[in-house]
């Protein structure tokens, strides 16, 4: 029985390979977790904000300039993926120690023109503890002098402000914490919040007994400076999902080498939430522009979840880490995003295998659902599905039209591919035109995938009828959605990035599924009469 002998050998080999594929990744993962102390908490995704600033002017032939402050990366906030779409304007960006200024200029501007500037913000919540016994210093380095001086809007030496300060902080030589608490509580509780977008100086805020964020901040700064605590204004944005025009101001005071934030509109004492974005420091104006050009601006904020950057960076430092590979890939110009897609594809394929072999859904090809799902990461699942359906419909319709013309196969397929490309371009142009930028990314739907899909659909419709195509399209959509959910899971992405050896486990699962001879869920339905038996 030579056959059964070699069968036994094959079986032993199978079990050996399976064991290696299970034990090796688990072993390496355990080693990383317990010996190298990989931070598991770093795998939980955190929120980031995409901020899209759009500015518009109406020109009547004049030269137009727009000026604003762009956020800077510092220890609390990091600004990435900046994209400038200046239209007809020439851009100039300057940076000094504190602020980053951007200006856009154009000559002889006619009609409505705009500038778009977008970036991704990744910021932290920060809170300071001020020791109760900390005294207010008598002297500071000379560089802090500007933060102690009077300014046109911060009239710290005005007698009324001085009198009010004495009322709020009646003690001689108060402790730092005590003084700041009294000032903060007074501005937060006794001064009414007013939703007013205009300029209010410190004295006016005091006289009115009510103020918006900028009035309160100036008054805070005036009180602080009077007490010999350096203070500065901060201009920024509270990032919330949606579009807004309202910006925000708060104040920072200098305590033991730190600039500590206070917000007496939202009652943040020595703390600042993660969704506060700093634009500039100082008593400045966010937007300046040529007069009479009907200047309009909007901030569009989108909140997303992203894998934790620090955790990934920390991982790349440790030995025996594949994260070092990522640096290697990046050095030859392959971005980490592409690598992520690559690493997630096996998981997508595994999902497809489960749907096909265990549940029993038919799909267009084994890898197509995973590929479409990864293509949809730029457009989002919804628009990805829309794009996929568009391809299927266009392919089917064009095939019918061409069948009627009776053409040979290859030229027919070439025409179909061309039509699909034209439709994708049209969708992109339409997307840009109507401001649906996710839709505009449709062009990035890899064309090879489109070609395969189009040809498969056309062949299947010709051979097995439109109903079959509709059925398989529907089932493919289900599998694409499942693939998308798995492949776009930040947890799984971080997990695979940190522990790429887990891909061996995917092989192990496929090895097991490859020998699974159970009845598929859909087969239970197919053979239900046979299995349930006729009621006796």
Partner 1 sequence: MNALKKFLVRLEGVRERAGAVLSMNRRNLHYIYTRNERRHFPLADNKLIAKEVLMAAGVRMPVTFRTYGYFYQLGSLGRDLERYSDFVIKPAQGSGGSGIIVIVGRKGRDWVGISGKVYTLYDLKKHISDIIFGVHSFDLGDHAIIESRITQHPDMQELSPLGLADVRIIMCDEVPVMSMTRVPSRQSEGKANLHQGAIGVSIDIASGMTTQAQFLGQPIDRHPDSGIPLLGRTVPFWPEVIGLALRAARAVPLKYLGVDISISPDGPQLLEINVRPGLEIQNVNGRGMLPVLEAAENGGRRD
Q: Write down the least CB distance from residue 441 to partner 1, Å.
A: 34
Q: Write down the least CB distance from residue 516 to partner 1, Å.
A: 6
The answer to whether 357 and 516 have CB atoms below 8 angstroms apart is: yes
Task: Select 161 or 413, whichever has its Cβ closest to partner 1.
Answer: 413
Regarding 2 and contact with partner 1 (CB under 8 A), the answer is no
Task: Select 302 or 510, whichever has its Cβ closest to partner 1.
Answer: 510
Q: Per-residue x/- mask for partner 1, residues 502 to 531, rule CB under 8 A?
A: -------------xxxxxx--xx-xx-xxx
Q: Write down the least CB distance from residue 531 to partner 1, Å.
A: 5
Exposed, middle or buried, 354 (CB in 10 Å: 0-12/13-18/19+)?
middle
Task: Select 286 or 462, whichever has its Cβ closest to partner 1.
Answer: 462
Q: Write down the least CB distance from residue 515 to partner 1, Å.
A: 7
Single out the residue of 101, 420, 136 nearest to residue 286, CA to CA: 101
Q: Write down the least CB distance from residue 48 to partner 1, Å.
A: 44
CA 134 to each of CA 137, 176, 256: distance values in angstroms, whole numbers, following the listed order: 9, 6, 9
Report 325-364 residues binding partner 1 (CB under 8 A): 357, 360
Report 464-503 residues binding partner 1 (CB under 8 A): 464
Q: How many residues bind partner 1 (CB under 8 A)?
A: 25
Task: Select 341 or 368, whichever has its Cβ closest to partner 1.
Answer: 368
Task: Select 331 or 410, whichever has its Cβ closest to partner 1.
Answer: 410
Q: Write down the least CB distance from residue 524 to partner 1, Å.
A: 8
Task: Select 448 or 532, whichever has its Cβ closest to partner 1.
Answer: 532
Q: Write down the least CB distance from residue 40 to partner 1, Å.
A: 36
Residue from 35, 142, 405, 408 touching partner 1 (CB under 8 A): that is 408
Buried b / exposed e over 458-472, threshold 16 CB at 10 Å, is bebbeeeeeeebeeb
Task: Select 62 or 455, whichever has its Cβ closest to partner 1.
Answer: 455
Task: Select 345 or 349, whichever has its Cβ closest to partner 1.
Answer: 349
The Cα–Cα gap between 157 and 149 comes to: 9
Q: What is the dihedral of CA 140, 144, 148, 153, to 10 degrees?
A: -170
The answer to whether 490 and 329 have CB atoms below 8 angstroms apart is: no
The Cα–Cα gap between 115 and 295 comes to: 11
Report 158-177 residues binding partner 1 (CB under 8 A): none
The answer to whether 258 and 128 have CB atoms below 8 angstroms apart is: yes
Q: What is the DSSP letter of 73?
A: -
Q: Per-residue x/- mask for partner 1, residues 185 to 204, rule CB under 8 A?
A: --------------------
Phi-psi region of 465 (alpha: psi -120 to 50; beta: other; left: phi over 0): left
CA 72 to each of CA 76, 77, 86, 101, 268: distance values in angstroms, whole numbers, following the listed order: 10, 8, 19, 10, 22
Task: Select 18 or 306, whichever has its Cβ closest to partner 1.
Answer: 18
Q: Write down the least CB distance from residue 244 to partner 1, Å.
A: 56
The Cα–Cα gap between 510 and 357 comes to: 11
The Cα–Cα gap between 468 and 364 comes to: 11
- The DSSP H or E segment spanning 262 is strand 258-263
Residue from 258, 303, 409, 433 touching partner 1 (CB under 8 A): that is 409
CA 295 to each of CA 56, 87, 163: distance values in angstroms, whole numbers, following the listed order: 6, 15, 41
Task: Select 434 or 524, whichever has its Cβ closest to partner 1.
Answer: 524
Residue 366 CB neighbours (<10 A): 11
Regarding 532 and contact with partner 1 (CB under 8 A), the answer is yes
Sign of the dihedral defined by the CA atoms of residues 470, 474, 479, 480, in that order: positive
Q: Write down the least CB distance from residue 503 to partner 1, Å.
A: 24
The Cα–Cα gap between 351 and 154 comes to: 63
Single out the residue of 534, 65, 81, 1 nearest to residue 302, CA to CA: 81
Q: Write down the least CB distance from residue 466 to partner 1, Å.
A: 13
Q: Write down the least CB distance from residue 523 to partner 1, Å.
A: 5
Q: What are phi and psi of 291, to 5 degrees?
A: -70, 155
Q: Write down the least CB distance from residue 390 to partner 1, Å.
A: 25
Report 424-463 residues binding partner 1 (CB under 8 A): 459, 462-463
Task: Select 491 or 527, whichever has its Cβ closest to partner 1.
Answer: 527
Task: Select 333 or 535, whichever has its Cβ closest to partner 1.
Answer: 535
Residues of this chain that bind partner 1 (CB under 8 A): 357, 360, 406, 408-410, 459, 462-464, 515-520, 523-524, 526-527, 529-533
């Amino acid at each position: 029985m030579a056959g059964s002998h070699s069968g036994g050998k094959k079986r032993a080999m199978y079990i050996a390979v399976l064991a290696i594929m299970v034990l090796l990744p688990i072993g390496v993962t355990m080693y990383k977790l317990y010996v190298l102390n990989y931070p598991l908490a770093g795998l939980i995704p955190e929120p980031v904000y995409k901020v899209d600033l759009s500015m518009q002017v109406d020109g009547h032939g004049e030269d137009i300039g727009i000026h604003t402050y762009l956020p800077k990366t510092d220890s609390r906030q990091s600004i990435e993926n900046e994209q400038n779409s200046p239209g007809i304007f020439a851009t100039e960006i300057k940076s000094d120690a504190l602020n980053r200024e951007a200006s856009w200029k154009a000559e002889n501007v006619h009609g409505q023109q705009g500038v778009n500037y977008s970036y991704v913000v990744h910021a932290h919540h920060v809170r300071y503890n001020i020791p109760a016994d900390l005294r207010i210093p008598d002297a500071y380095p000379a560089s802090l002098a500007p933060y102690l001086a009077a300014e046109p809007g911060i009239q710290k030496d005005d007698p009324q402000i001085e009198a009010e300060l004495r009322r709020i902080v009646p003690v001689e030589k108060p402790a730092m914490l005590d003084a700041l608490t009294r000032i903060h509580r007074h501005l937060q509780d006794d001064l009414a919040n007013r939703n007013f977008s205009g300029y209010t100086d410190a004295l006016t805020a005091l006289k009115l007994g009510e103020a918006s964020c900028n009035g309160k901040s100036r008054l805070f700064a005036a009180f602080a400076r009077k007490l010999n605590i350096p203070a500065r204004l901060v201009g920024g944005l509270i990032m919330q999902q949606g579009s807004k025009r309202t910006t925000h101001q708060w104040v920072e005071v200098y305590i033991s080498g730190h600039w500590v934030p206070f917000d007496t509109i939202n009652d943040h004492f020595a703390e600042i939430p993660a969704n506060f974005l700093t634009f500039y420091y100082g008593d400045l104006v966010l937007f300046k522009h040529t007069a009479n050009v009907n200047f309009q601006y909007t901030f569009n904020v989108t909140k997303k979840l992203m894998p934790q950057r620090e955790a990934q960076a920390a991982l790349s430092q440790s030995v025996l880490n594949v994260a070092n590979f990522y640096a290697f890939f990046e050095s030859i110009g392959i971005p980490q995003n592409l690598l992520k897609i690559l690493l997630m594809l096996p998981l997508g394929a595994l999902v497809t295998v489960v749907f096909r072999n265990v549940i029993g859904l038919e799909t267009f090809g084994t890898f197509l659902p995973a590929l479409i799902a990864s293509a949809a990461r730029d457009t989002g699942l919804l628009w990805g599905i829309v794009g996929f359906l568009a391809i299927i419909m266009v392919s089917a319709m064009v095939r019918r039209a061409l069948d009627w013309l009776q053409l040979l196969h290859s030229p027919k397929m070439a025409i179909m591919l061309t039509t699909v490309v034209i439709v994708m371009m049209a969708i992109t142009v339409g997307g840009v035109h109507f401001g649906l930028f996710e839709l505009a990314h449709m062009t990035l739907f890899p064309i090879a995938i489109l070609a395969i899909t189009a040809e498969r659909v056309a062949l299947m419709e010709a051979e097995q009828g439109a109903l079959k195509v509709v059925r398989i399209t529907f089932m493919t959509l289900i599998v694409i959605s499942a693939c998308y959910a798995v492949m776009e899971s930040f947890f799984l992405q971080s997990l695979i990035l940190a522990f790429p050896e887990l891909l061996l486990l995917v092989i192990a699962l496929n090895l097991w599924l490859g020998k699974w001879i159970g009845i598929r869920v859909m087969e239970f339905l197919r053979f239900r009469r046979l299995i349930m038996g006729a009621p006796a």
